[in-house]
Structure formats: C-alpha cells, structure tokens
Structure 1
Amino acid sequence: MRVHRGSPVETSTRARSRKKGRRLWVAGAVALSLPLGLTLAGSGTAAPSAADGIDAQQYEDQFLELYDKIKDPANGYFSPEGIPYHAVETLIVEAPDHGHETTSEAYSYLIWLEAQYGQVTGDWGPFNDSWALMEEYMIPGAVDQPTNSFYDPSSPATYAPESNDPSNYPAALDGNVPVGDDPLANELSSTYGTDDIYAMHWLQDVDNVYGYGNTPGDPCGNNADGPSFINTFQRGPQESVWETVPHPSCDDFTFGGENGYLDLFTDDAAYATQWRYTNAPDADARAVQAAYWANQWATEQGNQGAVADTVAKAAELGDYLRYSMYDKYFKQVGECVGPTQCPAGNGKNSSQYLMSWYFAWGGALDASAGWAWRIGSSFNHFGYQNPLAAYALSNDSALIPDSPTAGDDWGTSLDRMVEFYRWLQSDEGGIAGGANNSWDGAYAQPPAGTSTFYGMWYDEDPVYHDPPSNEWFGMQAWSMQRLAEYYYESGDALAGEVLDKWVAWVLPEVTVGNGADFAIPSTLSWSGQPDTWNPDNPGDNSDLHVTVASHSQDVGVAGSLANALSFYAAATGDTAAQETAAGLLDALVANSDDLGVATEEERTDFGRFDDEVYVPAGFSGTMPNGDVVEPGSTFESIRSFYHDDPNWPQVEEYLNGGDAPTFTYHRFWAQADIAIALATYTNLFGDEG
C-alpha cells in the first residue's frame, strides 16, 4: 500500500467507531440541528454547537423519501429502458441541449445513489443493476467501435490545431506534426484480451429526439427507436452550447451534408464514414468513487461478495481511465511550445498525471478501411480531479486495476492531484481554473510570465470561455467533496491544509434562514495567477484572488457542499462545518415538492435561442427532421422540435420582448447529490448506540 504525505491524524482526535457499517467520529464532532432564522457564518474552526442531541437518523429517513421520489416511474426521471434523463423537464439547455438527453455524469450519479442505498438498506441489487445499465447503454460495445484492431499505438492520431473561435473551423489535419507513442494500448489489450475501449461516451439522446438512432449494438440505426450516441462541442473554448451542431457519434453520411457533419469540424482531402466517442473522465471517476464506497460498506455489512463482480468492473473502468492523463497528441509534458518543435512523447513522459477534460477514440466504419485513432486532452481543470478515485485505484486491493503499471500510475496521479489543488488555491481559499500543456490548443507560446505546474501553464478558464469555466461555484463543491472524502479516509496532511483554507473561505459565504431560505456562492470572479509550483517550497499565491460575485439557491450544488462539509467535519471535528451542513440539508428538505427538491429559476440565457450557429460557406445539409444546416442557421432553427414543447410559449414570448421565463427544474444529478448528502450525514454522525 502506498503511503502519502504525513500520517493520519492521531486517533485521540479522530477516533473511529463502526456501528452497522456507519462511521462515527466520536471526538469533537457533535450532531446538530439549526433553529429557524439562524444565519451561519463560519471560520473553519470549531465553534459551540447550535443545539445538541439531534437525531441524525432523520436525514437517512429523508434520504429514503427522496430516493422513492426519484425512483417512482410516475415522476419521470427515467426512460422506459431505465436510463436516467438529464432532467424530468424537456426544455432545458445546459451542457446537454435537451432535458431528455443524458450524460455519463447522470449514469455515475445513479451508481453513486444506488451505492448509498445499499449502505442504508443492505440491498446491493440496485447498485449492481445500475452498473449493468451503464455498461449496456453508455459504454460502446464491440459493434459500436468496430475497427479498433487497426489502431497503431506508435501513431495514435493525426494532428489538427484547435482555435479559440468556431469561425476558424474546420481545422486542417497536418500529418507533418510529430505525435508521441501511446504507452497504454498494448498493455490494456494484453490485460483484457481486446482492443476495444471500456469507457463511457459522454452524451446520449435517450428518446432519440434528434433521430440519429444509433442504438448500442446497431451503430448506424438511422431513426431507430431508443438511445443514440451523439456529440455537440467540437470547435474550441468559445463554442458554447448555443453555438453547437449536434451530430451522431456514428456518421455514415445519412444526415448532414455530402460528408455528413465531418467537414464542419475537420478539413481533410477526403472523408470516410466513421465512429468516434468522447469520454468525460470525471464521470467514470465518480463511478469508481461510488464502487469504492460500495465495497467498503458491503464489507462492513459482511456482504462483500454481493458487490465483488461490479467492483472488479470498476477497477477495469479505472484502468482505461488512465487515457485521461495524457497530452492530446501524446507529446512530452512541460514547456511544450510549437507543434513541430515540441517533442513527441515516449513512454510515460506524455502523461500529465492529472485527469484532463476528455479523451476520445474513433475509427472507420468500413472494416476494410483499416484505421482507428485515440487522443487525450492537454487541458486540466481542477474541477475534474478525483483524489478519492485515485486513492482507491492505487491503494484498495479490490480496485487496483489488473494492468501491470496501473496502480503506480494512479498513485503518482493521486499525489499530483493534491499538489494541483494546493498550487491553484487562491489567497482567499477558492481553487482556480487549471493548467494546460498546449497553449490555445495549438502548442502556442503563452504570454511571458505565465506561471507553471510541472511545466504546464496556468489556465484561468481551461476548456471553455462562454461562460468561463472557472466561474461556477459548483465545480468547487464537486471537487472539494471528493478531496474531503479522501482526507477522511487517508489523513493526507496536504489535503487537510487545502481543505482548512477552503472551508474557512466558504463558510462565511453561506447563509441559512427560515425554513426553505438559504444561499450559497454561485458566480466567482478571479484575478492574478498562482506562483510557479515548487513542491519543496510552495508559494503563498498572494497574487491569486477570488471574490464571490453572486449567490444562488442551486439545490444540487448545495447538496454537494453539504456533503463536502460533512466529510470535513467528520475528519476534523469542526462543528461550524457540521452546523452548516445540517442547516443546508434542512433548507433543502424544506424546498421539497412532489417530484423532489427544487427552486424556481429565471433563465435569461434563453434569449440565446436566436444565437447564430457558425456554419462555413459552402456547407449545406439537413438534420434528421429536415431542419436545414447552412450559413445563418441558429440554435433554434436546427432544433425546431422545441416548438412542440409545452414550455416553448414562455421562451417564445421572451424572444419577442417579454419577461424572462422561469422554470422549476428537477435535474437527476441534483436530486441524487441531495439524497447522497442526506444519507452521508447520518452515516457519519448517526449514533445508534
């Protein structure tokens, strides 16, 4: 077992008692309730409790109530196949551009939700079923990725530069730019006896609203009923969801233009029908995170065998997830400037040892064509890191993957992730954007004075700029929740240092009022940059600053924040953090309705339904429903199906000069995050004695 920085906190302050599979910190942490009207403003240090003797069991009961609402077929969270939708409601535009699409994120939240259900009830059937559902529908099968056997690890892909503006696409392929060797492919194929990739694609049209119909097992189904692998974002960081052209992951040129949709994105001498998938690493890592806890809880219940097969699959998922560590074109990491000048990587020197924004793989549909490709990503966002998953994949014997180098890779990655958080921590405590190994996605020269982390450049808002990827507080809650879990399990001193400062920054920004009233940070504003990283003498980042520009009642983020604070309080005995967690949970439950937990949202961004989608001159094609794709097309014009949505009149009125529409959304991930946080509180603080 790897030993990381520092030893766990002494047992005199972190004594652990196990009762029926629950962890209870018995020193310094008191279960609390909040009187109505209390405003919480913490400092990250222990404070007198607001009220002693609360029965934390209430939160577990509320977990079961919310779980039943989520799983009730009448409430609309799931498709007929049992796939979780992005949201119950259909007219919603976020990363998915329709509510009845889904993401790998949603599948991972389902797996986590069912792991928590197993902890509470001892029934592990739903957990195993959720993994099987994900494997059936969101991991492309062999028939969906048919030409992997032709993949050449010494030539992973042909280089094409990225651009900061969609109007600079399609991007020209350039075979003269050297690319590095893929050090994983042969090891993985040898370990698992297949050239196929065991990883989730990120986006699925569950109800086949677009009509591409490439159901798993029938990769070019063409209007077949059922879930369809699709993609949207392809054209650099300025391409918001409002500027995308949705297209099939399997493009046989049935739809789009003469070359399907390929020549919207890539400039090539000739085009071939092909398949291609993109992985969102944070989702696969969340599934591993859930499997880790499932294994822990089932073992505590004396029932480890009930989850053993699924946990083994999670280890395999983690094995392939290592592709997220690599530079996009497997180039050498550090001071990588110039497409032709930056050296091609060899072995593991193209690994960033962080979880980047994506990895992708594809190939020819025609088996006789004989080609396939794989790429990583050069952009690393703090919000995607998952130290708990890395800890599991490098320390837990049930989850260390079978490939010979996987455990060591994840151990190195774990250390690198925790350092990454410390490098990006602002003077106030918030965690800044990230780093990249390819400036502007084209291995360009960054501005003079740009600070670095192991030779990668500081990137204030990596991956997307509209809106900036560093401004949503949800990334803070999601990522610090994982770090808090890791700290709870390991006692890693550097993780504790980061969390101490982060919690001290967050608590004064959280308010809990009467009943359903609460507010948490929403939009963040950043300035400056961190000091260049020196692992032996980290800087104080006195030039890196964050302010909270606005607050909101985002229920999903509030659930994640409560979860993070619960784990932190359990690890440290910090009663201010525990009070805040309990107060947020009480406020969330007070916002319950028949479908779950929700608050009303004003959507001024829906004015962008009229945004023009860039289509290059000379391109003319159609969507499956006949919507024309050509220069001048808009988000709305290539999605005319929205006109039939029952909520469309509110948007149409807004587009015609009326008031911004308001909706009450029930996002699956948000409901799951809240439910998990409720059960977590009882698991950590519930005294059954």
Structure 2
Amino acid sequence: MDPGRKRRTLRRVWTAAAAALALPLSMLATGATAARAAGVQCSVDYKTNDWGSGFTADVTLTNRGTDAVNGWTLTYAYTGNQKLSNGWNGSWAQSGQQITVNNASYNGTIAAGAAVSTGAQFTYSGTNAAPASFSVNGSPCVGAHQPPITVLTSPTAGAVYTQGEAVPLAATAAAADNATISKVEFYDDTKLLGTDTSAPYTLSATDLAVGSHSLIAKAYDSLGASAESTPVGVTVASGPTVVTTPTQLGVQHGKTATYEVKLSKQPSANVTVTTARASGNSGLSITGGASLTFTPSNWSTAQNVTVTADASGTGAAVFESSAPGHAKASVTVTELGATKAYDARFLDLYGKITNPANGYFSPEGIPYHSV
C-alpha cells in the first residue's frame, strides 16, 4: 500500500473510532446532566424549643430518593435576626440570614429512606418565624415539613389508680402537609407500653408498678416525622390514698396559702381527712380545713387546707393529711420573710413543675425527660 493511501486509511479508522467513542461519551454526559437535574430527593422536619430570647432548632433530614446520599450540605435562611450560637451533629455556619450545615464525619451517608438529625442554638429578638424552605446539596427539599401534633387526652394529670386497675390511655394526632398518621406509641417514660395504628388511638395499661409514672404519646406520620405529647403524670397506689396538690408551698410572714386535698378512689361511705403539722417550723399552722369530709359523691372534688404563717421566723414544716383506710399524703410548706414575694412565687412554680402529676419529675426530683 502506498504511503498516502495508508495515511488516509488510518485517518478513517481513527475517525470511526472517535465517532464510536463519542456516542457513549455524549450519552454519559447527558446522563450526568440528568442526574444533576434530578438532585437529592429529601424532606426536612424543623422544630424548635423557644424561650422568647433564644431557641434550639432540631432539624431532621430524610432521604426520600432510591439512592444513598454520600455527603450532605443543608442550607436555609431566616427572615429575622436569629443569630447562631453553636451547633451539633454537623458543622454549622451563618452568613447574614443564611444558614449552612455540613455533615459531621460520622453522619455523612444517608441511606435511601433513612434520616439524620442535626441541631443548633440561636438567640433572637422580635419574631422567630420558621424557615420557608430548605435545600440539600443544592436541591430544594419537600417543604419545611412540620411534625405531627400529638395530645394525650387520657388519663387526667394527677390521677391516682390502684395497682392492677386499668389506666386508660388515649391520644389525638394530626399530621401536616397532607401526610397521614401511621401509628401512635404510648410510653411510660422511656418504656414502650403499646402501639395503635388507627384512630381513635387508645391503650389500656394494667401492669404499671406502684409509684409515679410519666406517660406520653408519640405519633409518626407517613413522611417519617414524629413528635411526642406533653407528659401526663399519674400515680399508682397499692390501695386508696389521700391526694394533695401541690407538694411544695411557700407562704410569707402574716399571710396564708392553700393546698388541695381529695381522695384517689370513690369510698363506700363518708371519709374524714384530718391534716396536722407532722414536723418542722411551729410558726406555720392550719387555720382552715384541718378536718374535711368526703362523700361517695364528692370524693374527687378538691377541698382546701389553709396554712397561716406568723412573724416569728422562717423555715419549713411538713403537713400530713390522713384518713382511715387510706395512705396519707404530705405537703412541705416553707415560711418566708414578708419581703420575699419573689421566693414565694418561686416555690409555687417549683412545686408545680416538680409535682409528679405534671409528668416531668419523679417524686425524688429526677427529671423524666429533657426539657
């Protein structure tokens, strides 16, 4: 073959090869463009714990696609003057109103259908509106999906049951963004008592031990979001008992304070509850309700015991309320100086939040839940 013809033949071979290679390369480029266009399919659950001048933001990012996400960057913006203080489960940064969160070394991969959570603390003044939209790796997520709203409607806070008696649990749950409720779980603190998958969401708990219990309902929706109800505190007693509320009380010099007394169960006949100072400060005395009568019809209607403080000193006293055939109940009353209105208010609030009936603290003062 003459050299010129050979060169022309080689050019045709290389041209054909190049054409053959060009097709898959163009297809690959088109596929990459399509992949970038498809982006990350995700949803974001955003909820806050707000105390007026600051808040914590808990953000759950769910991979709604069919492929794993390997490395993620979450972005969103506030409309107010929210300022980032610190963050966790990711690297948080702020530029103006824009927030950027990069994954941590241990949570960068999100399997299909799985979720990761991150959070941060902020300060602010004025209003604290939730972000309107979120993006992950540049792709908009499905709204700022809000978790369901869950309310434990039964039992009543402060209710007292006898051991072995059924405690009726019931909850309402509503999902946002056209999602549906998939199930509601009922818990005794962190112990799962049972699950209901259809409304009305109910459960009968019969094996609760003697003592105080913090009951909650946790709802899950079809988009993977979940939320807990406010805790409800109840007491399980070994038998009938006198019930007092609150268990902590403050009273200033020369003033009075009251607490409530009732019975845990309906009696078959009238029951007389007597209250007296069992120990402590003698400057505190009962000036009303030292003897209260409860009938089979008014046993669950609270009656008041009134405690009066003289001007002789300060300190606490324990008052006990007792009745035949019933376990007694006690209240700690603290006498405060005449100028200690703030302290009296503090003790009042402290008594309410630490009251086991409110579901946050055990009788020993140990919090059941993080708040």
Per the normalisation by structure 2, the TM-score is 0.25
Higher relative contact order (CA 8 A, sep 6+): 1
Bigger Rg, which one: 2
